[in-house]
Copies of this chain bind each other. A is one copy, B any other.
Amino acid sequence: MPGGFSVVERAPVVCAVQQEPVVVLVEPQLGENIGMAARAMANFGLRELRLVAPRDGAPNDSARAAAAGAAHVLDEARFFDDAKGAVADLTYVFAASARERGQMKRVLAPADAMLRARELIDGGNRVGVLFGRERSGLSNDEVALADALITFPVDERFPSLNLAQAVLLTGYEWRRALGAPLPFSGVMHSPLASRATLESFLTFLEEELDRRGFYTPDRKPSLTRNMRDIFYRRELREQDVRTLRGIINALIREDK
């Protein structure tokens, strides 16, 4: 094999329980791309990487450098001579493709594909996603091995995604398909202000404005309503109202 690559794995006969889709890179040319793909996998909780005849053999220095903290994904990667061997133990295969292939595979957006992957994995299946060579993608024979294609909703004027980006987007959609939570949500250090808090503030504000001749009698009702409209739709927090009250207090203090 080119690149001195020599490790061959046969598909295990024992069926391992899988939790995430397997990422299969077919003849990746650049170590750096393998590393970046490994990192993209780690970002979104994908763990199993399979490398089919990588041009430079076992992950090299540029792969490790690009993988940064995701070197464990590289360390645990399995090697295969060809795509057929890499998918032999899988029960459902997606193939990533930028273009139509003259076959009759169903074509899914990444979001739908990963929802389907989740269903399949929940049902005990072993799912994989094939990604092709940097320049030429997958061969038609490799695509033929798949149950379905994944393609990305790119702008047709600029459609080319690199290998690591395709893996990243797939991993991202896998996380979403799991309903994975965000790292943090809005921490509301203060609750929404009650109507009483808001009324008290508005009454205070209006008294100060009135004292300063802000209102003419005919305009007062509509300005009053307008003020309530403004302040009630702000989703103000108790703390916000306290701050605003302090601001008004400081303003009127200077005036005296």
Which positions in A face B, CB cutoff 8 Å? Answer: 39-40, 42-45, 69-70, 98-100, 102, 104-107, 109, 111, 149, 151-161, 165, 168-169, 172, 175-176, 180-190, 237, 239
Contact = CB atoms under 8 A, between A and B. Distances in A.
B165 A181 contact: no
Number of this chain's copies in the complex: 2
A159 to B, nearest CB: 6
A104 B237 contact: yes
23 contacts: A42-B157, A43-B158, A43-B165, A45-B155, A69-B160, A98-B183, A99-B184, A104-B189, A104-B190, A105-B186, A107-B182, A107-B184, A109-B182, A151-B182, A151-B184, A152-B172, A153-B172, A153-B175, A153-B181, A153-B182, A155-B180, A168-B168, A169-B169
Given A153-B180, A154-B175, 6 more contacts: A40-B165, A98-B183, A104-B188, A104-B190, A107-B185, A152-B172
Contacts of A239: 104
5 tightest A-B contacts by CB?
A42-B158, A45-B155, A100-B184, A107-B186, A153-B180
Contact of A99 (B99, B107, B149, B183): B183
A151 B107 CA distance: 29
A166 B26 CA distance: 26
Contacts of A69: 158, 160
Nearest to A148: B186
Contacts of A157: 42
A155 B43 CA distance: 5
Contacts of A185: 107
